[in-house]
A and B are shown apart, each in its own frame.
Chain A
Amino acid sequence: MRKKCFLVAGILVASMALAACGSNNNNQNTAGSAATQQQEQEAGYIFTAKSQSMQVEGDLAAYVAALGQPAGGTYEAKSCAFDGMDKFYYYDGFTLQGFQRNGKDLVYAITLNDDSVKTAEGIRIGDTKEKMETVYGNATSAGTAGQYIYAKGRMSLKFVVKEDVIQSIEYVLNM
């Protein structure tokens, strides 16, 4: 009888331990991320076009309402399996890419498409790598060949450089 009790108790403890694992891990993750939360709350780089300031994780619907419907049209795409749509708004000179979080459309990325627009710090497609580094300093990290990444808060400002000339500029959410 005593052994049976120990057996049942053992099964119950094991089950509870497995269930508690998730919450324990969550607690550790919460404690461990405190140091990074401050960094994440730092505002990222801002992009301004048509007098509208925009940023990654900003309210996509509000930006579109302010900018009007894009001249280049829109496109929606979904993932292979999961819910939510990626939305693309093709404005003159730049593209807004949105994603859905808790049913709300937020900005995932802002891509500058030509030199008719520039970053808030004055850098355009076609500018030199030297000018970029004069304004932004050394990149936080270098991605694949020719990619220079400046991380700030929860986003990154990414430049693609070929033969010392900026080919692409993108504001993107860090996932």
Chain B
Amino acid sequence: MRKSKNKVGKTLFRILISCVVLVFVFDVLTRLLTPKYMTSIQEGAMIREYYKSEHNQDVLILGDCEVYENISPVTLWEQYGISSYIRGSAEQLIWQSYYLLEDSLKYETPKAVVVNMLAMTESEAKSEAYNRMTLDDMHWSFSKINSIKESMTEGESMLSYAFPLIRYHSRWSDLSMEDVKYLYKRDNVTINGYLMQVGVRPVSTLPKAGVLADYNFSERNMRYLDKIRILCEQKGIKLFLVKAPTVYPYWYEEWDAQLDNYANQYGIPYINMIKYANEIGIDYSKDTYDYGQHLNVEGAEKYTKYLGNILVQQANLTGHKGDAVYENVWNQKVAAYNQLKEQKYIEWSKQQ
């Protein structure tokens, strides 16, 4: 009897050890084969950085590259003492913005939320590659699950999001030292979600607009804009809708009118920054690094100062200058920001 009990115990122990080994191997393979986005396509590394941040922000900013390349949280701090974080990602869709907001509100409740409206013009997910950059690094929750469900393109599966090895196993032939170096840790590629760009490629020709068959925002996009609005109302958050001051993609009057009507109907500020480019001080011969599609750091700082003034006035933000906790954290971010700017300028000048 004793002997048989010992035998069962040993068998169970062996099974347990085998399972642990299998899980460990599976975990290592998954970490190894999942893209790291540390050097190229850094946009893929942005979503996970939020979870390491302070979660005491006055303002959360959501959207695609029109936020994470055009708005500088360090400038909001320096000018107004406002703390902020950009939960941006490449080609972020409006429903992805909603679920990222929902996710963020598990960690903090900002006083204001800013959402860029370019995503309202995209009715369908463009590709799995873009989806992955927004969804892969979200912490697992119903927000992530629902965002995946809403986003999946043909051929994608929830199982491949749950087990990334299914999607990335074929990367074994593309492995590099970066995959080994960043197996268990990642560096930050942004400063509070801002992906800095330097250099000047001026606007010489304004892009021309084609005729669209339908200018109406999709029903799904309007539904998710409503969900963002309602969620902010429920949490007592002041919502701002913005359109970045860029020249491409072309921003149609018909789109602007729909958002004007929506904003007026619900008493929400909607600011089309393209109309205020002169007032902001944007010089499209100097403040853009890619022919007016996005702003460089100079342009981003100008736009941020303008946006910050609006936030202070309309969201009653008083800032945290003089608060030792905030000062300590943000002084470090300012130092890192200035160091990064200097480094990027040196790299840019070498390319000329």
Contact = CB atoms under 8 A, between A and B. Distances in A.
Contact of B213 (A82, A90, A143): A143
Given A19-B169, A81-B91, A81-B130, A145 B291 contact: no
Contacts of A75: 205-207, 248, 291
B44 interface: yes
A35 interface: no
Max chain A Cβ within 10 angstroms of own Cβ: one of B172, B206, B293? B293
Given A145-B213, A160-B213, A81 B41 contact: yes
B118 to A, nearest CB: 10
Interface stretch (B21-29, B232-240, B309-317, B324-332): B21-29
A78 B199 CA distance: 15
B301 interface: no
A95 interface: yes
B208 A77 contact: no
Interface in A109-147: 111, 113, 143-147
A22 interface: yes
A3 interface: yes
Interface residues on chain B, size class? 35 or more
A72 interface: yes
B165 interface: yes
B265 interface: no
Max chain B Cβ within 10 angstroms of own Cβ: one of A19, A75, A88, A160? A75
B58 interface: no
Nearest to A160: B213
A18 interface: yes
Interface string A33-74: 000000000000000000000000000000000000000111
Contact of A80 (B43, B166, B169, B214): B43
A82 B208 CA distance: 23
Interface of B: 14, 18, 21-22, 25, 29, 41, 43-44, 64-65, 90-91, 129-130, 133, 165-166, 169-170, 172, 204-208, 210-214, 248-249, 290-291, 293
Chain A to chain B: the 5 pairs with minimum beta-carbon distance, closest first: A73-B205, A22-B170, A168-B211, A147-B213, A81-B90
30 contacts: A3-B14, A7-B18, A7-B21, A15-B29, A18-B165, A18-B166, A21-B166, A21-B169, A75-B206, A75-B207, A76-B290, A77-B248, A77-B291, A78-B290, A79-B90, A80-B43, A80-B65, A80-B90, A81-B43, A81-B44, A88-B207, A90-B208, A111-B210, A113-B210, A145-B214, A160-B213, A167-B211, A168-B211, A168-B213, A170-B210
